[in-house]
Every structure is written in structure tokens, then in C-alpha cells.
Structure 1
Amino acid sequence: MKITRTYSKMAKEASVLLGKEIQVARKEKAWSEQVLANRIGISRTTLQKIEAGDMTVAIGLVFEAAVILGIPIFLEENPSLSNSIRNTTDKLTLLPKRIRNKTKKVKDDF
């Protein structure tokens, strides 16, 4: 049974935008779909899904396509993103490791 997921409008639009940016960068480099697909290690059909903004493609493949084409994924001056990763890790150490749902209050007012 195939699972159908629902995505927000913003998530769909972001996926379509990144796909179109990948397509533009590929065409600016005068690479065919097959050339880029081979560089990423995927099929041409998967690349077509990426460029169409298909939400079912693994995010790692989309990021790999963007990196190969030189598209910035996050707006950072540091291309390695190591400072951002370190800052986010520092924030995570200050937050609880587990989030528990609140337990129901016992009604003991007999």
C-alpha cells in the first residue's frame, strides 16, 4: 500500500524552486541530464524528478546535485557550514534530550 503524504505549500514551493535552480545551473554549465545524473550517481529519471521538485526524492540526492552545481544551500559565508553546525550542536546540548508528553491530571475531587 502506497503512503500518500501531505506537504505544506511552502515546502512544495521550496522543493520546486530548488529543482528549477538545479535545472538552470545544469543548463548554464551546458551539461545534459545524463552527465549530471552520472556525476551524482543516479538515474536520469531521478534527476528529472529532482528538477521537477518531486518531494519523494531523497534530500541527500537533491543536496548533492546542488553542491555539484555550486548552488548554495544555506546562506553562509563559510562554505563548510562547520560554524553553524557547531552553534546548533551547542544549542542542542542546552535543550532536553527527550521531550515527554504531559501526563493527564488525576481527577481526585470526590
Structure 2
Amino acid sequence: MTDRVQSSLVRAVLQTLGAEITRGRKRRGLSQADLALRVGCSRNTLRAIEEGRPTVEIGLFLEAAALVGVPLMGGDPATIRDRGAQAQREVDLLPQPRTQTDIFDDF
């Protein structure tokens, strides 16, 4: 397996999200084992989440964040659903990418 290279922005976002999850967990008085059980992962995986490691599934990051009250996408669930619906409506209106075809101009 080759090492993936993350941009400095992605690394910063993951580390920030990990720190916010740790803060939220500690504010709620939860141990890593308690939160891991609620997220549905091992304690080692939760530790990786809190360290902001990019190898953890995004769904686990988001579940941990939601469970400890980290606001996801800057809004409440209704606002997030509205944003998703708006994005889908826009996707439906955009033209589909065309496949590149070979042009044979040997006459």
C-alpha cells in the first residue's frame, strides 16, 4: 500500500476535528472506552480519531463528533438536510460529463 499524501488543509481539519472530539468527550465526562463503545469502534480507533489520523473512516469521525456535540457542517440537522437537498437539485440540473471519444479523421 502506498502512503497517501494529504494537503496541509486536510491535515489541519482532521487534527482540529480530533481535538474538538477530545474536548467534547472530556466535557461530557466520557472515557475513550465509553465513547468508542457508543461510536461502535475500538478504543485504538477512537484514539486515532482524536489524534486526527487520516486512515480512519470518515463516518467514524462524524459519528464521534455528533455524539459529543461538535457541530457538523456548521448547522443543525434541518439546515444540513436543506443544504443536501439544494446540492442535489443543482446536481440534477448540471449537464452530465461527456465521455471522450476518439476522433478518426483519416480520410
TM norm. shorter chain > 0.5? yes
Question: Sequence identity, in percent?
Answer: 34
Matched, 1:6 2:21: no
Letter in 1 for 2:85: R
Q: Which residue of 1 aligns with 2:42?
A: 43
- Which segments of 5 or more consecutive residues in structure 2 lack a partner in the other structure? none
Deviation at 1:16, TM superposition (A): 0.2
Deviation at 1:107, TM superposition (A): 8.6
Q: How many pairs were matched up? A: 105
Cα distance in structure 2, aligned partners of 1:18 and 1:59 = 11
Q: Which residue of 1 aligns with 2:97?
A: 98
Where does the alignment leave 5 or more consecutive residues of structure 1 unmatched? none
Q: Partner of 1:64 in structure 2?
A: 63
- Once the two structures are TM-superposed, the CA of residue 105 in structure 1 deviates from its matched residue by 7.8
Distance 1:92 1:9 in 2: 29
**Alignment-derived partner of residue 52 in structure 1:** 51
List 4+ stretches of structure 1 deviating above 3 A: 103-108
Q: Are positions 1:83 and 2:86 aligned together? A: no
Query: Relative to 1, partners in 2 of residues 1:5 and 1:100: Cα closer, same or farther, differing over 3 Å?
Result: same
TM-score normalised by L of structure 2: 0.88
Report the residue type matching 2:92 in the other structure: T
